[in-house]
């Protein structure tokens, strides 16, 4: 198929030639963000108590909007540099991340305890188990998509060594595999089974089907996570993968790491990386952390459903719960989803003119 957004099919060469995916905040924008956070911060509030209107992002907002346009209609990812990292405490930096999220979409829950904001740091989790998650480990991660339309990651501290961030275009990978092995490319359009890593909500089964690739309205969508696919193979009721399917997935992972396809970079403190999970896949290398807790690698992660989200393939419904354009969808609902979370979603969706599924 011809992808309606040709720029989503980028190569590393394309990214180097056209750097419109990098956005830089100037001093005025940085001052506006610092002032917005200082003015709104209230230690008596939880994140759910804040409203979009509590934060006037001033001249930073046009730059953030430009980055978000690039995420939706361009390369599918953007790097916004120069958030006011040095002027803010870790808690203020987290609140700044949340404030940008309130202007961008409806935050989605991210796991078993239904958190809407995650501090990505090494908590000693073992990644490759039936309930492992990458964000709380220091492991080398497989190329994967996160479980929401957009993932926004702000960098507060970097590791002592390692922790390199990689992004590849799933659209480019599809073009390559279709050219090299069209027979295997076809297999990737069949449903595959993914484990919920024991984080399922009470109304969800322990696994869900999703093709690696599907189409809707001239756009190609991808969803991939080898760790979850591998753990699903041990769950009752999940069909075993064929040798050909393994071959297709191995070739996909090989293509994603080719130097012409994989963009690698180190995030710096004050950087914000924004990814469109439908057209990009990401990964990270293992890292060695600092001894001092105050210096340990720390990123803040938000998963978001934006008001201008396009309609998803019907095959995305088991994972996303809703596929209609502009709906509140995606996330990992988890086991602690409660009235407060629901009330936040309903209020935030109303503020952005969105439908709650
Ligand atoms: Fe991720």
CATH no., domain 6-356: 3.60.130.10
Check the CA dihedral 175-181-186-187 and report its sign.
negative
Closest CA to 212 of 226, 198, 200, 199: 226
**Are 15 and 70 in contact, with CB atoms under 8 Å apart?**
no
Is residue 128 within 8 Å of residue 139, measured between CB atoms? yes
Lowest mean pLDDT among 83-97, 120-134, 237-251: 120-134
CA of residue 125 to ligand 1 center, whole Å? 15
Q: Answer yes or no: is pLDDT of 30 > 80.
A: yes
pLDDT tops 70 at residue 1: no
Residue 96: band (very low, low, confident or very high) from pLDDT cuts 50, 70, 90: very high
CA of 209 to the centre of ligand 1 (A): 19
Both tokens assigned to 2:
């011809």
Q: How far is the CA of 144 from the centre of ligand 1 (A)?
A: 6
CA-to-CA separations, 303 to 61, 88, 145, 325, 327, in angstroms, rounded: 19, 22, 11, 17, 14
Q: What is the pLDDT of residues 176-198, one digit of tens each?
A: 999 999 999 999 999 999 999 99
- Does 20 score more than 80 pLDDT? yes
Residue 303 has pLDDT above 80, yes or no: yes
- Taking the C-alpha atoms of residue 356 and residue 307, their distance in angstroms, rounded to an integer, is 11
Q: How far is CA 315 from CA 136, 223, 243, in A?
A: 29, 11, 23
Measured CA distances, 251 to 3, 176, 187, 255 (Å): 21, 10, 12, 6
Position 2 pLDDT exceeds 70: no
234 CA distance to ligand 1 centroid (A)?
23
Q: What is the pLDDT of residue 177?
A: 98
C-alpha of residue 42 to centroid of ligand 1, in Å:
30
Mean pLDDT of 102-124: 94
Ligand 1 center from residue 46 Cα (angstroms):
25
Going from the Cα of 191 to the center of ligand 1, the distance in angstroms, rounded, reads 21
The percent of residues in the chain predicted with pLDDT above 90, rounded, is: 86
Residue 97 banded pLDDT, cuts 50, 70, 90: very high
- Distances, alpha carbon 2 to alpha carbons 14, 36, 172, 219, 252, in Å: 18, 43, 11, 8, 19
User: What integer pLDDT is reported at residue 223 of this predicted model?
Assistant: 98
> Is the pLDDT reported for residue 60 higher than 90?
yes
pLDDT number for residue 221: 98
In angstroms, what is the span from residue 169 Cα to ligand 1's centroid? 14
- Span from the CA of 82 to the centroid of ligand 1 (angstroms): 22
Helices 90-104, 27-40: crossing angle, 10 deg rounding: 100
Mean pLDDT of 236-242: 97
Mean pLDDT of the chain: 95
pLDDT of residue 357: 75
Encode the chain in three state secondary structure. Answer: CCCCCHHHCCCHHHHHHCCCCEEECCHHHHHHHHHHHHHHCCCCCCHHHCCHHHCCCCCHHHHHHHHHHHHHHCCCEEEEECCCCCCCCHHHHHHHHHHHHHHHCEECCECCCCCCCEEECCCCCCCCCCCCCCCCCCCCCCCECCCCCEEEEEEEECCCEECCEEEEEHHHHHHHHHHHCHHHHHHCCCEEEEECCCCCCCCCCCEEEEECEEEECCEEEECCEHHHHHHHCCCCCCCCCCHHHHHHHHHHHHHHCCCCCEEEECCCCCCEEEEECCCEEEEECCEECCCCHHHCCEEEEEEEECCCCCCCCHHHHHHHCCCCCCEECCCECCCCCCHHHHHHHHHHHHHCCCEEC
Kindly give the distance from the C-alpha atom of residue 212 to the centroid of ligand 1, in angstroms, as a whole number: 16
The pLDDT score that the predictor gives to residue 87 is 82
Task: Please write the tens of the pLDDT for every residue from 321-354.
Answer: 999 999 999 999 999 999 999 999 999 999 999 9
pLDDT at residue 137 in the model = 84
Question: Residues 138-175: pLDDT tens digits?
Answer: 888 899 999 999 999 999 998 888 889 999 999 999 99
């Amino acid at each position: 198929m011809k992808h309606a957004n040709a720029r989503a099919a980028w190569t590393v060469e394309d990214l180097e030639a056209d750097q419109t995916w990098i956005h830089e905040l100037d001093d005025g924008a940085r001052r506006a963000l610092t002032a917005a956070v200082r003015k709104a911060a209230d230690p008596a509030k939880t994140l759910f108590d804040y409203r979009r209107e509590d934060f006037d992002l001033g001249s930073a907002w046009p730059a953030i909007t430009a980055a978000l346009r690039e995420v939706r209609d361009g390369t599918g990812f953007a790097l916004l540099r120069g958030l006011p990292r040095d002027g803010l405490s870790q808690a203020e930096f987290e609140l700044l991340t949340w404030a940008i999220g309130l202007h961008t979409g409806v935050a989605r829950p991210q796991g078993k305890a239904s958190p809407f904001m995650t501090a990505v740091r090494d908590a000693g989790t073992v990644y490759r188990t039936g309930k492992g998650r990458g964000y709380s480990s220091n492991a080398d991660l497989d190329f994967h998509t996160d479980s929401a339309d957009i993932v926004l990651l702000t960098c507060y501290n970097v590791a002592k060594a390692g922790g390199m961030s990689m992004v590849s275009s799933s659209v480019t990978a599809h073009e390559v595999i279709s050219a090299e092995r069209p027979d295997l490319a076809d297999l990737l359009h069949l449903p595959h089974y993914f484990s919920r890593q024991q984080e399922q909500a009470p109304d969800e089964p322990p696994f869900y089907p999703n093709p690696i690739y599907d189409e809707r309205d001239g756009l190609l969508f991808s969803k991939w996570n080898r760790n979850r696919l591998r753990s699903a193979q041990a769950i009752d009721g999940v069909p075993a993968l064929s040798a050909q399917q393994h071959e297709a997935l191995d070739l996909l992972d090989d293509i994603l790491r080719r130097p012409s396809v994989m963009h690698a970079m180190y995030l710096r403190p004050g950087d914000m990386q924004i990814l469109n999970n439908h057209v990009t896949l990401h990964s990270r290398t293992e890292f060695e952390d600092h001894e001092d807790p105050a210096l340990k690698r720390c990123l803040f992660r938000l998963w978001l459903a934006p008001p201008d989200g396009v309609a998803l393939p019907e095959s995305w419904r088991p994972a996303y719960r809703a596929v209609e354009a502009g709906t509140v969808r995606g996330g990992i609902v988890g086991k602690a989803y409660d009235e407060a979370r629901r009330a936040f979603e309903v209020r935030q969706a109303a503020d952005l003119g969105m439908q709650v599924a």
